[in-house]
Structure 1
Amino acid sequence: MRAAGASASTATGASTATVAETSFGRIRHWLGCTDVVNGLHMRELFFEVPLDYDDEKNAAAGGEEEGKKKIVVFAREVSSSRRPSDSLPYLIYLQGGPGFESPRPLDSGGWMDKACESFRVLLLDQRGTGRSTALTTASLALLDSAHDQAALLALHRADNIVRDAEAIRQCLGQKQWSTIGQSFGGFCTVTYLSMFPSSLRESFIMGGLPPTDKGCTAHKVYTHLFKRVETQNKKYYSRFPQDVEKIRQVFSYLLKKRSVETPAGNILSAKSLQSIGIRFGSAQCLESIHFMFEDPFEVTGELSYKFLRDYDSLISIDTNVIYAILHESIYCSEGGPSGWAAESVRKEYEVNECRNFDASWAIANDEPVFFTGEMVFPFMFDEVKQLRPLQEASEILAMKSDWPPLYDEGQLLRNEVRAAAAVYFEDMYVDLNLSLETAQKIKGLRVYVTNEYLHSGIRENGPKVLEKLMNMARNVEPIR
């Protein structure tokens, strides 16, 4: 099998690496560049970690065996230029996703400014993303088979993301540190609380309490979430009733044409256009879709170049393929295949609950066409250009039934780490009721339920939400 991505030994700065003794063996790490951006001091950190922590070779003493597979994990340390930071504790940020790199700070505003009052923030590019050894369509094409691709991708879930973070903590000489997890980053946080609780001082979760049942909960999750997506569609058309007919016209066009190629080489079909409803769950989401449909056609009657470009800009699974391929697997713990759960639930929901998700039915019955939400469907691997070469690997992973555990419910029930979670009442991505079920399983977890934000509280008013969680976790706000 040929290597996917650049080897750690060729990374810039590797010749000046420091070697740390960790519970995972010897880990090389090194500094990259330092920089200042609008009130923030930043420095780049690189860590050479095992690709597979369960590999016997990787677990062997010394850790220098020939052929041992390593990857690089990147993190950016951020601190305020207004405050000395060397003595501040670390707060590691776990990004939403899966498969998305950490944000790139442009200034000292938002939640980052609040966090930098009392922490050095570590923005982790989770394995496979950003400046870590990235998994892309091009890098995966270097592997010999779809089975090799699937095996590699399977090593990029929350359990190994957490092991990477734990190795980094030890390399930095921190006895404990704090975590902040947004969305999927909250899933990773609950995995961290399960696997390495003694390493955590406190944890803050924003819109990211996962179902922790054994097996695969994807079918259960999407059954709940389709109801929330239906609600957001109704809110959209209630706010913009003038869009009902415009949107039907676009879907009628696509159903007649069957598909249109976009400037990025993607295929726009009725089903793929419905998938932009993933945006309905964030701030200014309804407005952005409304403006997209203002004038979708050229004078010739064809879909406009601008409309097609807008569609390309709204999808991100072509630049972050891990998200598409591993999305359903985040709900699989200790076995149980996902089996394309979203597709299965959609078919059931269209027949038994809401026919508007069937664009053909909606148009034939003069009804609004409903958009779908945060769901990955098999057709995407035909229609998204960067996903087409990964179709076979995605099928292998959808049928994989031997997923390792992500959560330890016994440990969560014994939890002693100070923790607080923001749960958003109308969250379209992480169901309220399932989140509250999980909250009951984590001893001492304090929960802030609010309808002030959708899923994007960290972007809408990050300082307020973070301060609330910090005060709750630390019992500055008394238990009521």
Structure 2
Amino acid sequence: MGDSGPSGAHLRSYRENVSSSMCVVDTSLGRVRHWVGHRDVVSGLHLQEHFFEVPLDYDEDAQGARKVTVFCREVTSSRRDASALPYVLYLQGGPGFESPRPFDSGGWVDKATESFRVLLLDQRGTGLSTPLTTASLRALGTAREQASHLALHRADNIVRDAECVRQCLGQAQWSTIGQSFGGFCTLTYLSLFPSSLRESFVFGGLPPVDAGCTAHRVYSYLFKRVRAQNEKFYARFPQDRERIARVFSHLLERRSVETPAGNILSAKSLQCLGIRFGSAQGMEQIHFMFERPFEESTGELSYKFLRDYDSLVSVDTNVLYAVLHESIYCSGGGEPSGWAAESTRKQVEASECREFDAAWACKEGRPVYFTGEMIFPFMFDEIKQLRPLQEAAEVIAMKSDWPKLYDEDELARNPVRCAAAVYYEDMYVELALSMETAAKVSGMRTWVTSEYMHSGIRENGAVILQKVMNMARGVEPIR
């Protein structure tokens, strides 16, 4: 893509400002240009920008390869000299979300900067890494051309980007922290480039590594987790059952309501807010949202309620998450994901839990159950920024020729010190499947805890990071 890509103007402006710091490195994956951006200071931290121009498609001929920019923010403590410290690469959850932007030295970052230079990677397509938006994707051409481009933004190429960064920074090896989908990327890293890793720490992110598409199996487990979280929610806030049912009945009667952001709020789209039930304070967030959902004078849903809904819809600013979400479960095998969450939901509603059917629940006086971390086809009708990507999403859903993400033989002889925090009641990454995977990775130690939810690293990051580091390093003996 060169400078003609979505971030071309941004790329050119940085070249003009920092051209003296640009270098060209011949990595094992191709020629990469690296330049250093601005240096900033926030409370307790020094921040340094790094940009890398890497191949869009690593299988293309090196001479004619299209390029994308990958951005990393190096974070060090302002309280100590970090020049001699090794790097740890942070792999963000998602897919399709940029790395966190540090405001101060709290949490896991504070702990990590005691012994590392932390590198916050904006995975390709996110943040400042040639971001994929609705507008930039539409500019690529047809739905098939969009899908072909999107397919290059999975864990395998994220890891290849990381390899280019490692070599540009002159690191023989480095460590990784993988949160959620970042853990999926870690298992891909251990499969493709184990010799590049010194140690790996995973938090709520051990994926099934079987060949083929595991999406249907994953969702058959996760709907049970979501059902349990709904039962907890209504047990904690029994007063919400009636007021929530009133909102769903209102939407079912009118079919839909347009929100201030131009989204369509239907019963099914409102159910998607259950994704919040898997993180700390998520239940409280939904509880307070339904305190006063209607305008008393008109009986219509209030502007505040509709705005609250818009603020909780993150896939409109991170469309990559919606389009590629099910593909993270496809590792070779010639199988498509095929809207696995949608088909699994229909099976669950028919045979296990009809409360996911809002119309039935309202008619029968049953509580309406919210759904979880799932992407459904109707979202591409009802979320404004996803509508133009509907055809491309369908192509991705039906794609069957996905490359492998994991190498079980390589994982079985894994030489890298590694450990994982596995959350007992994780609503997004199934415990049973995580433990299956842990057993396939040589040397992988697991800490199974019910004290934290999927967001544990954000709840008590310093303690959790230290615990997992100690396990990987053998400071805590096997027992």
TM range (shorter): over 0.9
SS of alignment partner, residue 175 of structure 2: strand
Take 1:22 and 1:328, find their aligned partners in 2: how far apart are those partners?
Answer: 31
* Equivalent residues in 2 for 1:256-275, closer than 5 Å: 256-275=253-272
Contact 2:215 2:326 in 1 (8 A): yes
On the 8 A contact 1:429/1:455 being kept in 2, the answer is yes
| Cross-structure match for 1:81 | 78
- Matched-pair contact (CA < 8 Å) for 2:330–2:336: yes
| Alpha carbons 2:27, 2:168 under 8 Å: kept | yes
Q: Take 2:384 and 2:104, find their aligned partners in 1: how far apart are those partners? A: 34
- Please list, as runs of the form range in 1=range in 2, the aligned pairs for 1:396-415 lying within 5 A after superposition: 396-415=395-414
Q: In angstroms, what is the RMSD of aligned CA positions?
A: 1.1
Matches within 5 A, 1:23-34: 23-34=28-39
**C-alpha distance in 2 between matches for 1:4 and 1:207:** 34
CA–CA distance in 2 between the matches of 1:122 and 1:4? 24
Aligned counterparts of 1:79 and 1:122: Cα–Cα separation in 2: 9
Aligned length: 472
Match of 1:190 among 183, 187, 192: 187
**Superposition deviation, residue 173 in structure 1:** 0.2
* Aligned amino acid, residue 302 of structure 1: E
Structure-to-structure mapping, 1:155-170, within 5 angstroms: 155-170=152-167
Q: What is the one-letter code of the residue matched to 1:6?
A: S
| SS of residue matched to 2:474 | coil
Distance in 2, Cα, partners of 1:469 & 1:13? 40
SS of equivalent to 2:460: helix
In the alignment, which residue of structure 1 is the partner of 2:24?
19
Alignment of 1:60-209 (within 5 A): 63=63, 65=64, 68-209=65-206
Question: Counterpart amino acid of 2:154?
Answer: R
Match of residue 311, structure 1, among 302, 309, 312? 309
Asked if the contact 1:233–1:370 (Cα under 8 Å) also holds between the matched residues in 2, the reply is: yes
Listed as ranges, the matches of 1:349-388 within 5 Å are 349-388=348-387
Distance change >3 Å, CA 435–CA 264, structure 1 → 2? same
1:436 aligns with 2:435: yes
Taking the aligned partners of 2:448 and 2:90, their CA distance within structure 1 comes to: 21
Match of 2:50 in 1: 45
CA offsets 1:172-211 (integer angstroms, 9 cap, x no match): 0000000000000000000000000000000000000000
**Secondary structure class of the residue paired with 1:12:** helix
Contact 2:56 2:66 in 1 (8 A): yes
Aligned counterpart in structure 2 of residue 289 of structure 1, from 276, 286, 293:
286
Q: Could you report, residue by residue, the CA deviation over 1:233-266 in whole angstroms, capped at 9, with x for unpaired residues?
A: 0000000000000000000000000000000000
- Contact preservation (8 Å) 1:35, 1:41: yes
Partners of 1:11 and 1:47 in 2: CA distance: 14
**8 Å Cα contact 1:4-1:143 kept in structure 2:** no
Q: Deviations over 1:357-400 (max 9, x none)?
A: 00000011100000000000000000000000000000000000
Kept in 1, the 8 Å contact 2:427–2:454? The answer is yes
Q: Distance in 1 between matches of 2:277 and 2:475?
A: 35
Following the alignment from structure 2 to structure 1, what is the Cα–Cα distance between the partners of residues 399 and 247?
37
Q: Which residue of 1 aligns with 2:425?
A: 426
TM-score normalised by L of structure 2: 0.97
The alignment-based identity, stated in percent, is 71
Q: Distance in 2 between matches of 1:336 and 1:81?
A: 49
Following superposition, the deviation at residue 24 of structure 1 comes to 1.3
Aligned 8 A contact 2:77 2:114 in 1 = yes
SS at match of 2:24: strand
Residue 36 of structure 1, aligned match among 22, 41, 49: 41
Task: Between 312-321 and 2-11, report the one with greater CA deviation.
Answer: 2-11
Q: Which amino acid aligns with 1:381?
A: F
Deviation string for 1:268-298 (max 9, x for gaps)? 0000000000000000111100000000000
| Structure 2 CA distance for aligned equivalents of residues 472 and 99 of structure 1 | 30
What CA distance in whole angstroms lies between the structure 2 residues aligned with 1:385 and 1:182?
29
CA distance in 2, matches of 1:162, 1:23: 13
CA contact (8 A) 2:52 2:71 kept: yes
* Separation in structure 1 between the aligned mates of residue 228 and residue 179 of structure 2, nearest angstrom: 23
| Distance (Å, rounded) in 2 between the aligned partners of 1:233 and 1:339 | 26
Question: Aligned partner of 2:306: which letter?
Answer: L
Cα distance, 1:13 vs. partner? Answer: 2.5
* Contact in 1 for aligned 2:204/2:421 (Cα 8 Å): yes
User: Contact 1:13–1:31 at 8 Å: present in 2 too?
Assistant: no
Note if 1:210 corresponds to 2:207.
yes
Residue aligning to 2:319: 321
Counting only pairs closer than 5 Å after superposition, residues 227-242 of structure 1 correspond to structure 2 as: 227-242=224-239
Output the amino acid matched with 1:304: S
Q: Is the 8 A contact 2:125 2:131 kept in 1?
A: yes
Q: Which runs of 5+ in 2 are unaligned?
A: none
Of residues 1-10 and 108-117 in structure 1, the stretch that sits farther from structure 2 once superposed is 1-10
Aligned to 1:476, the other structure's residue is in SS state coil
Say if 1:9 and 1:372 are closer, same or farther in 2 by CA, change over 3 A.
Answer: closer
2:59 equivalent among 27, 51, 54: 54
Q: How many angstroms apart in 2 are the aligned matches of 1:83 and 1:434?
A: 41
Partner SS, residue 366 of structure 2: coil
Query: Whole-Å Cα distance in 1 between the matches of residues 5 and 358 of structure 2?
Result: 40
The SS at the match of 2:440 is: coil
